[in-house]
Amino acid sequence: MTKNPHIGSDALAFLDSIIPDTPESRLAERQEIFRIALTQAMRDGRKRAGLTQKQLAEKLGVGQSWVSKLESANNDHTFESVMAYLNALGADFEASILLEGQKATVIAAKLGANREGVDAAIEPVWESTKDSQPKEESNSPEFELIPPEEKNKCRKAQAVIASGGGLWAA
């Protein structure tokens, strides 16, 4: 029997030496970290709700194995599956979009909301009106992510929403 030359060595250092440090590998790493954190949060939420995998599966109308797979970081998760899982728990989902390390937008799924509640699902952190102040930072930068004509359409839509017309106003 031969001796394993890697016993006692640093496994992370070995992986660093064989996996190139590229934008693609860093993205894959962040995706895996997020997948692990998401599945842990889902399991914690189910347990906090006092449900077993079988009970949650019954609420969803699926088999217990589907819930088990969704709670595993070893499987891909569709957004729709995660949303169905959270809805069955009576939980919600909120995402923050960060630009240059600063919170730009918060999006809440508002899973239990009616039509009016959905109007508030997207909460811009940096307002575009002249009288408003950013909610997070007072010196928020202007990002040129969309052309000016599209930005004007967005401002008009925001004005309709702010006037109480909601997303479904004519």
Domain definitions of the chain by residue range: 14-89, 94-162
Q: For residue 119, give the DSSP letter.
A: T
Q: Name residue 3's amino acid.
A: K
Say which CATH superfamily domain 14-89 falls into.
Answer: lambda repressor-like DNA-binding domains (1.10.260.40)
- Average of per-residue pLDDT across 26-43: 90
Predicted confidence at residue 1, as pLDDT, reads: 56
Q: How far apart are CA 35 and CA 43, in angstroms?
A: 12
Secondary element (H or E) of residue 124: strand 122-124
Burial class (CB in 10 A: 0-12, 13-18, 19+), 2: exposed
Confidence band of 96 (pLDDT split at 50, 70, 90) = confident
Predicted confidence at residue 133, as pLDDT, reads: 41
Q: How do residues 99-126 score in pLDDT, each as one tens digit?
A: 888 888 888 888 776 655 555 555 555 5
Give the predicted TM-score (pTM) of the model.
0.57
Identify the residue with better confidence: 140 or 82: 82
Mean pLDDT score of the chain: 75
Confidence band of 166 (pLDDT split at 50, 70, 90) = very low
Instruction: Say yes or no to pLDDT of 8 above 90.
Output: no
CA 119 to each of CA 143, 155, 165: distance values in angstroms, whole numbers, following the listed order? 24, 15, 9
Is residue 141 within 8 Å of residue 100, measured between CB atoms?
yes
- Average of per-residue pLDDT across 38-60: 94
